[in-house]
A and B are shown apart, each in its own frame.
Chain A
Amino acid sequence: MRIIVCVKQVPDTEARIRISSEGNGIAEADINWIVSPYDELAIEEALRLREARGGEVVLVSLGPERAQSALRSGLAMGADRAVYLKDPLFDATDTLGTARALAAAIKGLTPFDLVLTGQQGVGGDHSQVPGLLAELLDLPQVTVATKVEIQEGKATVEREIEGAHESWETSLPAVISAQKGLNEPRYASLKGIMAAKKKPIESRDAAGLGLDAAALAPRCRIVALELPPARPPVRMIEGDVGTQAQELLRLLHEEANVI
């Protein structure tokens, strides 16, 4: 079985975000970079499937130089090898461009049985790449999976959505995105970390993937990035308890538009 896992490096979820001087991204100095937590679930699931059925787990990641440490982390968990996509054209692209690059790299890894990825990258929080990839690879998709079982040529997947629990069945190969609850990712063992240093990471650039500037031109871009606006001083709600309750609901509906 060949399982491909798409991995993204993101800022630590505890990182304090500062805006870059250009005003359209984050200041990257002093940030602790990690593998997106949902991608770790995907890596873990891939490793379990390989343990059950044999085969190999190949990681793919797109990003600047530092992204290679995310691949090393995945290799330390036990993945077999990695493909690293780097090109100045990738730096400015959007989710669709990223998916195009990943899809091109994944096509180069045919035959494969499954593409796993996290349901969202906790930097951009777009939650798009799984669906974009599936369409570009012309594969079925099941997103936000909390359980995956593989049978011959198909998979049974469970998902939790908005008060319901669904079971799906899909043919393979397919794209499946991982949701919290899918598994508990393993720690990289000491031996795993040492072994990872020797595992191959193959680099590819845009030209090597058959992609040019037109294919990677962003269709959606960030014009400005800001910290959330400072909150206005609290509005204390007066009156007796009954009045306060009614007034709060009214304000939440009419003023804050949150219910």
Chain B
Amino acid sequence: MGDRETLETDVLIVGGGPAGLAAAIRFKDLLDAHNASAATKLEASVMVVEKAPELGAHSLSGAVLDPVSLRELMPDFEARGAPVANPVTEDHVYLLTAGSKLELPLIPPPLRNHGNYVISLNQLVKWLAAQAEARGVDLFAGFPGTELLYEGDRVVGVRTGDKGIDKHGERKGNFEPGVDLRAKVTILAEGARGSLTKQLVPRLKLDAGKAPQVYSIGVKELWEVPKGRLARGAVIHTMGYPLDGHTFGGGFVYGFGEDRISLGLVIGLDYRDPLLDPHGLFQKLKLHPMLRGLLEGGKLLRYGARTISEGGWYAIPRPYADGVLLVGEAGGYLNAMRLKGIHLALKTGMLAAETALDAVLHGDPSAGRLKAFADKVEGSYVKSELWKVRNFHQGFKHGLWAGLIHSGLQLISGGRGLFDPMSPSKGYAEVYKLADYYGPGATRERFERVRTDGSLSFDRLTDVYHSGTKHDEDQPVHLHVADPSLCETRCREEYGNPCEKFCPAAVYEMVPKGDDPKALRLQINFSNCVHCKTCDVMDPYQIITWVTPEGGGGPRYDDL
């Protein structure tokens, strides 16, 4: 009882999203091909561990999929039932003001979506999971990776989380210790701001000489609307309202099926207003006449939120070290201009699989051999695509118009633009203090929560309910705040407690403390958490660390 077990596998993948599953599928396919012609057949096991209660439950995205990598992974993906029933039929970009819209007459080629598909990432991941399972991959849902296992500086595997610990940290009757999974090659595919990736990168200085990673938050809802409201496969992107000229981001509205609309708002997590409320801004977007017209009379089906890696090529750390590879958004592989990352996740997953098989065949998972992954990425469309947009996000440092100009210049110069590299965004450090943004003497009372009407716009708790998120309440709080007294004093004064505003799931709340009517303390409603990681990214003092809660908890992003 309490003794940790050890399990061995050849390849261990942390994260059952598109990158992780593509790596698993590709590894097995390459292995089969190798064995078909090899003199001695190799048996190699692949294990995927995923914190969600089932594969796909924590996967969400807009999304518009460029099928280039899916086609490479499985040329017959359509015949195999991949959920790609909505090819893009129309492409629009609008600039919105509070009451009107202006359509851009021309969409630059990289932003055109002809040949792409409007999909649900959740559905795609479920399908990929079935494909992986059919190939003999061991998929373990409900098992988060909590700690990397090292021998010296070599990664030798991952420890999974303990189960059955109560809110005081004591073992419950059904305590089940986590398992040490030892692998020759560990592939981290945790998505943006992965918790193991966050431990690994500084320890092995994989970010030496790189720009710091920068993020956006995406907030999304899935709606059921009367048929014909929005053409199936219609792709709409918006700029402007409700974001001001200094806030990076924009909206998306996709026709997903006959009577479904996927819509959301992406906001750069380097905004200035300390009281910015991403969820609230998304609700405001829906009140715009164009959106209202599309959603009126419809029904909210699902809600979710997630951070997105925005830093681009210059912020991607060295993606290999002894025994370990980084793929997908965990590595930072996302095209911020096209707002597409799934195809890059799939492709980097596949390249990692090639690299891993080679390492397993030679019994050598050292950095020297795993470097081949970086070389493969360099020689693939992952590099050529990301190179062209390497300064995209940074171009918006001085506002929307400057950003559009920089972007245009970058487009015609293969990504170089006016400055290369452009000085990176400072992310959370771009946020202004209350006094600097709102004027001297401004307090947290300046904040006004957006009013919601309950039919077109919703308060956060109602949205959280529609995320399906659930956690066993009797477990330790998985949001570690290093010094909560800071929240009550310094943060309250300097920034007005932004966590209450930037969390799209109402996890953080400053509530009255004791008898003093003016004293507040931080209350963490952790079971609302949708695992977006915004708090880990954005708190001004960087004292919040998001760790994996007990496996199996979190949202259920059906069809998101």
Contact = CB atoms under 8 A, between A and B. Distances in A.
B163 A187 contact: yes
A186 B172 CA distance: 10
B176 A184 contact: no
Contacts of A190: 5, 7, 140, 143, 160, 179, 181
Given A14-B468, A14-B470, A32-B556, A193 B174 contact: no
Contact of A185 (B138, B174, B179, B558): B174
Contacts of B7: 190-191, 194
A172 to B, nearest CB: 25
A186 B160 CA distance: 16
A194 B138 contact: yes
Contacts of A32: 54, 556
B212 interface: no
The listed residue with most A CB atoms (<10 A of its CB), out of B172, B176, B179, B181, is: B176
B245 interface: no
Interface in B142-191: 143, 160, 163-164, 172-174, 176, 179, 181
A192 to B, nearest CB: 9
Nearest to B140: A190
B173 A193 contact: no
Contacts, number: 33
Contact of A184 (B138, B172, B470, B556): B172
A65 to B, nearest CB: 15
A189 interface: yes
B558 A187 contact: no
A228 B187 CA distance: 49
A190 B140 CA distance: 7
Contact of B164 (A30, A187, A191): A187
Contact of A30 (B163, B172, B470, B558): B558
A186 B179 contact: no
B369 to A, nearest CB: 28
Contacts of B140: 190, 193
A184 B174 contact: yes
A171 interface: no
B5 A191 contact: yes
Contact of A183 (B5, B173, B176): B173
Given A32-B556, A191-B5, A191-B7, A186 B174 contact: yes
B100 to A, nearest CB: 38
Contacts of A189: 5, 176, 179
A61 B448 CA distance: 55
A108 B83 CA distance: 44
Contacts of A185: 174
Contacts of B470: 14
Nearest to B54: A32
The listed residue with most B CB atoms (<10 A of its CB), out of A183, A185, A189, A194, is: A189
Contacts of B558: 30
A211 to B, nearest CB: 34
A186 B1 CA distance: 13
Interface string A190-222: 110110000000000000000000000000000
Contacts of A184: 164, 172-174
Interface in A159-194: 183-187, 189-191, 193-194
Contacts of B556: 32
Nearest to B556: A32
A191 B173 CA distance: 19
Contacts of A186: 174, 176
Given A190-B5, A190-B181, 7 more contacts: A184-B172, A184-B174, A189-B179, A190-B7, A190-B140, A191-B179, A194-B138
30 contacts: A14-B468, A14-B470, A30-B558, A32-B54, A32-B556, A183-B173, A184-B164, A184-B172, A184-B173, A185-B174, A186-B174, A186-B176, A187-B163, A187-B164, A187-B174, A187-B176, A189-B5, A189-B176, A189-B179, A190-B5, A190-B7, A190-B140, A190-B143, A190-B160, A190-B179, A191-B5, A191-B179, A193-B140, A194-B7, A194-B138
Interface of A: 14, 30, 32, 183-187, 189-191, 193-194
The 4 residue pairs across chains A and B that have the minimum distance between CB atoms: A184-B173, A184-B174, A187-B176, A187-B163
